[in-house]
């Protein structure tokens, strides 16, 4: 099945569904409709309409000295994408996705889709995951810049490594994640004589970000502990702040993690969620999966409150 919503076969399928609905077979019509939507979604993510405008296949460029790749690829099926987000953040992410899908229509009116995004917020609150989710939803290949390779090679070559990565990727529709990209300005082993060079590399990166007009989406992340330079904002088309989860998001994340498991009736997830306010998504998920694993390993039929509380204590003390 092709993902084209206007293809004849799909129009026929829709008309059959409508006929059944008119006949009063609502249940059947709804069921057929949901099967059709599911198939369309699957075929869309399997056969993304990738178009390499100029140049040939994308080959990840390597560092000149050690021949190590400057970006790593994550397979589509390994992209994390089941996210629980507040309505506000969810809508901002959907806006990026919708604009990307409508980029040609927007271009008709001289408008550009959002394609350079800065995600900022606490560690473990979904910044890297959001980048993966966008690639998942849009069926785009996903690459993460290897800053370790870029800056571990000779300093003098870091800037040209960055340049070659950006040049080769610009015609290739993909999501390129520059995770914790400010790390590049903080090389700890830098000698004082290197400071000027590091400054230059940071400027090269900012220049490349500013100039990027490629076919894909660039997503840069930075953690909240690091104050962001105001000058940075104008290089991006969008900026999203990722907060810690509220009670509702914690509750939903617990429900999602425990969805395949039974809970002892003493467990009141609303209360537990209240107790977890202030923790990051990553810690909430870890507490829940630790408790789930414990109950599976000990062959218990359900998750016990005691195990959940123990997992909470352990993870909270580890993260203080």
Number of shown-chain residues binding ligand ADP (CB under 6 A)? 17
- 305, 266 contact by CB (below 8 A): yes
Give the C-alpha separation, 287 to 310, whole Å. 9
Q: Name the residue nearer to ligand ADP (CB basis): 129 or 159.
A: 129
DSSP 139: T
- 236, 220 contact by CB (below 8 A): yes
Task: Examine residue 282 and tell whether it contacts ligand ADP (CB under 6 A).
Answer: yes
How much is the CA Rg of the chain, to the nearest whole Å? Answer: 23
What backbone phi and psi angles, to 5 degrees, belong to 85?
Answer: -135, 155
Site string for ligand ADP, 185-224 (x = CB under 6 A): ------------------------------------x---
Q: Which of 117, 125, 138, 159 binds ligand ADP (CB under 6 A)?
A: 125
Task: Examine residue 222 and tell whether it contacts Mg ion (CB under 5 A).
Answer: no
Task: Examine residue 141 and tell whether it contacts ligand ADP (CB under 6 A).
Answer: no
Q: Which helix (DSSP H) or strand (DSSP E) does residue 120 occupy?
A: strand 116-121
Residue, CB closest to ligand ADP: 126
Task: Examine residue 128 and tell whether it contacts Mg ion (CB under 5 A).
Answer: yes
Task: Examine residue 292 and tell whether it contacts ligand ADP (CB under 6 A).
Answer: no
Task: Examine residue 161 and tell whether it contacts Mg ion (CB under 5 A).
Answer: no
Q: Which helix (DSSP H) or strand (DSSP E) does residue 197 occupy?
A: helix 195-211
244 binds, among ligand ADP, Mg ion, none (CB under 5 to 8 A by kind): none
Task: Examine residue 103 and tell whether it contacts ligand ADP (CB under 6 A).
Answer: no
Decide: residue 85, CB within 10 A, 0-12 exposed, 13-18 middle, 19+ buried: buried
Residues that bind ligand ADP (CB under 6 A): 80, 83-85, 123-129, 221, 242, 253, 281-282, 285
């Amino acid at each position: 099945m092709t993902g084209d919503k206007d293809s004849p076969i799909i129009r026929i399928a829709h008309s059959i569904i409508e006929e059944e609905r008119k006949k009063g077979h609502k249940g059947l019509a709804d069921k057929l409709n949901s099967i059709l939507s599911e198939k369309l979604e699957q075929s869309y993510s399997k056969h993304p309409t990738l178009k390499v405008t100029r140049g040939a296949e994308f080959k990840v460029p390597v560092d000149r000295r050690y021949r190590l790749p400057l970006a790593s690829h994550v397979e589509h099926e390994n992209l994390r994408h089941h996210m629980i987000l507040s309505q506000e953040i969810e809508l901002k992410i959907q806006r990026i996705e919708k604009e990307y899908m409508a980029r040609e229509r927007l271009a008709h009116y001289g408008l550009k889709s959002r394609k350079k995004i800065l995600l900022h917020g606490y560690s473990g609150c979904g910044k890297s995951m959001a980048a993966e989710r966008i690639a998942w939803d849009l069926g785009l290949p996903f690459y993460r810049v290897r800053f370790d390779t870029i800056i571990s090679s000779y300093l003098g070559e870091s800037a040209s490594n960055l340049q070659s990565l950006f040049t080769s990727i610009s015609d290739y529709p993909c999501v390129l994640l520059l995770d914790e990209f400010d790390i590049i300005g903080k090389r700890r082993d830098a000698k004082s004589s290197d400071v000027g060079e590091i400054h230059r590399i940071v400027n090269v990166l900012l220049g490349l970000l500013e100039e990027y007009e490629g076919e894909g989406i660039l997503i840069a992340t930075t953690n909240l502990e690091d104050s962001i330079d105001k000058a940075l904002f104008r290089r991006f088309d969008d900026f999203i702040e990722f907060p810690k989860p509220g009670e509702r998001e914690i509750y939903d994340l617990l429900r999602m993690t425990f969805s395949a498991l039974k809970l002892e009736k003493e467990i009141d997830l609303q209360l537990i969620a209240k107790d977890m306010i202030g923790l990051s998504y990553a810690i909430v998920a870890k507490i829940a999966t630790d408790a789930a694993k414990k109950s599976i390993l000990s062959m218990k039929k359900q998750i016990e409150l005691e195990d959940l509380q123990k997992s909470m204590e352990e993870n909270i003390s580890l993260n203080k």
